[in-house]
Amino acid sequence: MDWQAIRLSVELAAATTAVLLALGLPLAYWLARTRWRGRAIVEAIVALPIVLPPTVLGFYVLVALGPASPVGAAWERLFGQGLVFTFEGLLIASVLYSLPFAVQPFAAAFATLDRRLEEAAWCLGVGRLATFFKVCLPLAWPGVLTGIVLSFAHTLGEFGVVLMIGGNIPGETRTVSIAIYDEVQALDYAAAGRTSAILLAFSFAVLLATYALQRRFVQAWPVR
């Protein structure tokens, strides 16, 4: 069993989700609140990455981040190591590809918030940032959780982009989804089945725990 691959996948999924929260929450909040007319353009662009087949997106990202590209070259000068075929490269690609799965549900959740609750918090002297964390985030929780779950699960299963950027290097960039793919391709269905079963069981446990725990929150919702 390729435990290394499983660990790497979980790390990648966790890191991707964390980055998406950090980037996606402010972006989504802005999208939900701005009255700027160009908002629809940004929303449409955010959704675009998933329109391309992952391998193809991966190829373009590979070119964009490769050592021949300005980004890749700059990175290499700074860190003495290329961006592609590294965990950092994988992370960037995963974040890009999973962006819509996080930002869209976040933005939808913020859009339906009752603004007056925010106003009430402001009137209590609570700053905008604190209000965001203490009022908006808990109230938008079902949508935020959806974004987290979709990003995390999708990164676990992602394969095309990761293969392209990562190069399938055991212990470094071979994720469990690539491992399973390889097993299927090698007609080793038994091994593929075992690895899939472990991945599914792990994911199921994580998801179940998440949903069971969130019930507590959700009970707060339906404002009677």
Give the separation between CA 184 and CA 98, rounded to whole angstroms.
Answer: 25
Residue 165 · residue 158 · CB < 8 Å: no
Q: Is 164 in the site for another protein (CB under 8 A)?
A: yes
**Residue 169 site contact among another protein, its own copies, none (CB < 5 to 8 Å, cut-off depends on kind):** another protein
Residue 170, binding choice from another protein, its own copies, none, Cβ under 5 to 8 Å by partner class: another protein
Name the one residue in this structure whose structure tokens are 């009677």: 224
Residue list 92-151, contact with another protein (CB under 8 A):
114, 116-117, 119-128, 130, 134-135, 138-139, 141
The one-letter amino acid code at 157 reads G
How near is the Cβ of 10 to its own copies at its closest, in Å? 11
Secondary structure (DSSP) of the chain: --HHHHHHHHHHHHHHHHHHHHHHHHHHHHHHH---TTHHHHHHHHHGGGGS-HHHHHHHHHHHHSTTSHHHHHHHHHHSS-STTSHHHHHHHHHHHHHHHHHHHHHHHHHTS-HHHHHHHHHTT--HHHHIIIIIHHHTHHHHHHHHHHHHHHHHH--HHHHHHH---TTTT--HHHHHHHHHHTT-HHHHHHHHHHHHHHHHHHHHHHHHHHHHHHTT-S--
* Nearest-angstrom CA–CA distance, 5 and 3: 5
Question: From the list 67, 193, 200, 208, which residue makes contact with another protein (rule: CB under 8 A)?
Answer: 67
Residue 185 near another protein by CB under 8 A: yes
Shortest distance in whole angstroms from residue 204 CB to another protein: 25
Using CB under 8 A as the binding rule, whether residue 88 contacts its own copies is answered as no
Stretch that binds another protein, among 15-23, 31-39, 147-155, 181-189 (CB under 8 A): 181-189
Please say which residue, 74 or 197, places its beta carbon nearer to its own copies.
197
Binding to another protein in span 11-50, by CB under 8 A: none
> Contact, 156 vs 10, CB < 8 A?
yes
Give residues in contact with another protein (CB under 8 A): 55, 59, 62-63, 66-68, 72, 82, 84-85, 114, 116-117, 119-128, 130, 134-135, 138-139, 141, 163-164, 167-171, 174, 181-189, 217, 220-224
Give residues in contact with its own copies (CB under 8 A): 32, 39-41, 43-45, 47-48, 50-57, 59-60, 100-101, 104-105, 107-109, 111-116, 139-140, 142-143, 145-146, 149-150, 153-154, 156-160, 177-178, 180-181, 184, 192, 196, 199-200, 203-204, 207-208, 210-212, 215, 218, 221-224
